[in-house]
Chains A and B, each alone.
Chain A
Amino acid sequence: DSGVTQTPKHLITATGQRVTLRCSPRSGDLSVYWYQQSLDQGLQFLIQYYNGEERAKGNILERFSAQQFPDLHSELNLSSLELGDSALYFCASSLTGTDYGYTFGSGTRLTVV
């Protein structure tokens, strides 16, 4: 157990729907990152939050949004889902907003049918 908790582990939904992925960071960590791993692809950075504020943004689609709550957990909202959104979504956390050896959760596998 890495200490980073992601729920749900698996999600199957239809095109056009909206889903919410949840991440609880490791205790004491203030920063949360979201990454997407599509089939045979590396991890693509989506967004980073630090202590509730957006710190950095990657190639995140406009249909996707995220936030970090006062208790530091984070949610990634994916809407108007398309088949191509099927992927593994990883959350990671770190103590500060600039350290790089951060801890990943085990991911949420999203399948859009």
Chain B
Amino acid sequence: DQQVKQNSPSLSVQEGRISILNCDYTNSMFDYFLWYKKYPAEGPTFLISISSIKDKNEDGRFTVFLNKSAKHLSLHIVPSQPGDSAVYFCAAKGSGNTGKLIFGQGTTLQVKP
């Protein structure tokens, strides 16, 4: 049972344009949602998060939007840069006394110069 899904395995955008990465989830009990970025031969690095009580969180070029009714979140990168090329994982955290995360399958973003 895949509770967090990223249905687009890959995305290609031109430098300077907007990148939109999408994620769907099924469990309404998740209380935090996160995005991690992963470069080859490195571990994932935390990028941005959003609480389930918010609908938007912004950090520089990165904005995460949460639509609880649709159980959908998205990551917007504006403007996209070639250095943003990486695998992006959506993740969700349930309530409780643990930091366990449920990850999506990842979306490979390629930003072309």
Contact = CB atoms under 8 A, between A and B. Distances in A.
Contacts of B44: 43, 90, 104
Contacts of A70: none
Contacts of B34: 100-101
Contact of B46 (A35, A48, A102, A107): A102
Interface in A90-109: 90, 92, 94, 96-107
Interface in B3-44: 4, 6, 9, 32, 34, 36, 41-44
B69 interface: no
B4 A42 contact: yes
Interface string B88-113: 01010100111111111110000000
In the A-B complex, list the 4 residue pairs whose CB atoms are closest, starting with the nearest: A104-B43, A56-B98, A42-B103, A101-B46
Given A42-B6, A104-B44, 10 more contacts: A35-B103, A43-B91, A94-B99, A100-B32, A100-B34, A100-B49, A100-B101, A103-B43, A105-B43, A106-B43
12 contacts: A2-B45, A33-B99, A40-B9, A42-B6, A56-B98, A90-B44, A98-B98, A100-B49, A100-B99, A101-B46, A104-B36, A106-B41
